[in-house]
Chains A and B, each alone.
Chain A
Amino acid sequence: MELQGIGIGRGIAVGRIVRMPDPLPEPAVSPSSLTPAQEGARATGALSAVAADLLVRAEQAGGVAGEVLEAQSMMAADPSLVDDVTVRLATGVTAERAVFEAFAAFRDMLTQLGGYMAERAGDLDDVSQRVVARFSGVAAPGVPDPGYPFILVARDLAPADTASLNLGQVLGLITIDGGPTSHTAILAREKSLVALVGAAGAQSLADGDEVILDAANNLVMTSPSAKQVAEAHAREAARAARALAPVSPGALADGTPIPLLANLGSADGSAAAAALGAEGVGLFRTEFLFLDSVTAPTVAKQRVEYERMLRAFPGKKVVVRALDAGADKPLAFLNDAHEENPALGLRGLRALRASEQILRDQLDALAQADAATDAELWVMAPMVATVEETRYFVALAHEFGLKTAGVMVEIPSAALLADRILRHADFASIGTNDLTQYTLAADRMLGSVAAFQNPWSPAVLRLVAEVGAAGAALGKPVGVCGEAAADPLLAVVLVGLGATSLSMSASALADVRATLGDFTMQQALHLAELALAADDAASARELVTAQATEFLDSPSEPARVVPSNTHPERY
């Protein structure tokens, strides 16, 4: 049987299922046969035992995880909680029920507060589960560690779960809920784990079931035959071999070069990215320099970090994005006003213009770092909506001596005006995550609308095509630096729509490089047309997958041997 979901990456894994334990049942509402004082002693005993256990774990974990566990230990022993439990016990309920209700009451209070406080509700749930488990003498629910490699099935993974996951033992992840931008999906991409998210049918999988998890084909195969298992192992080995293959510059089957670049959040990942064949950096996020600061970092401090990054890619392109912050990633010195709709608020270039000195300092530091190193530095502005904003940023960057200045295309307005925007910008880089969020009007952080966050949406692809066409007409490079570029088949479609370079998590480079090499420009154009003409994201992906398979099954396809010089130079 096959269970459908959304595959993350191109991997395949064979293994046995281990399920994330379900939450413990709610303690029954039944009158206690003990006195409130006796129940009180039971409650205090369970709470202090859990508090002590969490404290031991906190010491073992250390760091940020240790801090969270320590706070959880305090919650278990909290005097306000004990007071609340005592009041509930006076009504004659059991200790189990009183503790459960008290935690639930505090949880609701935190949820109502919203924001940073609401994020603590999950911590409190975890403590509550531990106490309930202690009463019934069972193991507290948590990430399993059966002692052999396994495929984990969970409803969805919380950040706390992923932190305690023993990645050495996890062959793959399957989630019943969650979409392609869920925490699980992001973790899977970062760690190159095989994963399938949003697989509702996985609810039927039981501990010990052998399955084939096939992310490339968006499915889980249950009760596979010996032949299917052997084929899966062969594909796994072929993929591993591909990852070990010598890295070459990204190119289509006909030789059209499509430079493959890495998305990086700090200079730390640069050596690993270069080793995986990154031909430069397509998106260097600079937020890390700012997020931990009360005041903006000095020009000198920024320059040191930028130089460190640029030195890792001598002679290569490094595209640096100016600080992208706003009410969703609040920085006290930039914008700490409360906004009802942070995604639609004073963020990106808008926030930088409101505090222009911060932008000037950043461009100054970048220009100094550029002068001191050999990389080819490009700068771009985040969240640009208008031609006027483009002219403002490009002029300011040029004023500081930065030769190549462009804009991110994340807002539909910028895509629709690409023919005008690219007259002023030196290049455009499409951020597909935000472009999808704004095109479908679906908050990318909100699980209930996760299904809309699909870059295969023909509406999103049509906007990409607008930018691609404008870039081709004006001879300006058009990159893609969202997660869409990390989906190998979608990467081919993006090239067909006019993307001249692709930037992604370094872990996705090998698969995208291999897939680009399977298709010619003519085939990519054909696949792009199919996707654009589809009714929705799912059928776009289906149509393109079917046609791509057909192209691959007819290796005598003449387009594959057309010499590269028949295509106009696009980059």
Chain B
Amino acid sequence: MLERTVLVGSTHGLHARPAKLFSQAAAAAGIPVTLTKAGGKAVNAASILGVISLGIGHGDEVTLAADGDTAETTLDELAQLLLTDHDA
């Protein structure tokens, strides 16, 4: 199991648009990826409702986790998305 921990960059957190972009990318990855907010439960990263329901705000620490051959590149790509400020 590979993990990446990042601080969320979007000004208003993972609400509508940032969550949509993130879940779309996670669904396109083709391998199961989980997203966990520090101290919270793990959700399917490809689920926009799951991602929104974590209530992730700007600067919150979150962890991505995945298994498999493509896990490393997938996690790098998703981590980059989380770091970007999509509200800018």
Contacts and interface: CB of A to CB of B under 8 A. Distances in A.
Contacts of B47: 78-81
Interface in A64-80: 67-68, 70-71, 74-75, 78-80
Nearest to A336: B58
A102 to B, nearest CB: 9
B17 A71 contact: yes
Interface in B44-72: 44, 46-50, 52-53, 55, 58
A123 B17 CA distance: 13
A75 B43 CA distance: 15
Interface in B6-47: 11-13, 15-17, 19-20, 23-24, 43-44, 46-47
Interface string A317-334: 000000000000010100
Q: Which range contains the number of B residues in contact with the other chain?
A: 20 to 34
Interface string B73-88: 0000000000001001
A74 B24 contact: yes
A274 B20 CA distance: 41
A448 interface: no
A22 to B, nearest CB: 26
A47 to B, nearest CB: 12
B50 to A, nearest CB: 4
Interface string A69-95: 011001100111100000000000000
A113 B24 contact: no
B30 to A, nearest CB: 14
A110 interface: yes
Q: Which range contains the number of A residues in contact with the other chain?
A: 20 to 34
Contact of A71 (B11, B16, B44, B88): B16
Contacts of A75: 48-49
Given A70-B20, A74-B24, A80 B15 contact: no
A81 B50 CA distance: 8
Contacts of A106: 49, 53
B52 to A, nearest CB: 6
Interface in A175-220: none
B13 A116 contact: yes
A1 B15 CA distance: 47
B16 A79 contact: no
B11 A74 contact: no
B8 to A, nearest CB: 13
Nearest 10 A/B pairs, CB to CB: A80-B47, A116-B15, A113-B55, A80-B50, A71-B20, A294-B88, A74-B48, A78-B49, A116-B12, A79-B47
10 contacts: A71-B48, A78-B47, A79-B44, A80-B50, A109-B53, A116-B16, A117-B13, A117-B15, A117-B52, A294-B85
Interface of A: 67-68, 70-71, 74-75, 78-81, 106, 109-110, 113, 115-117, 119-120, 123-124, 292-294, 330, 332, 336
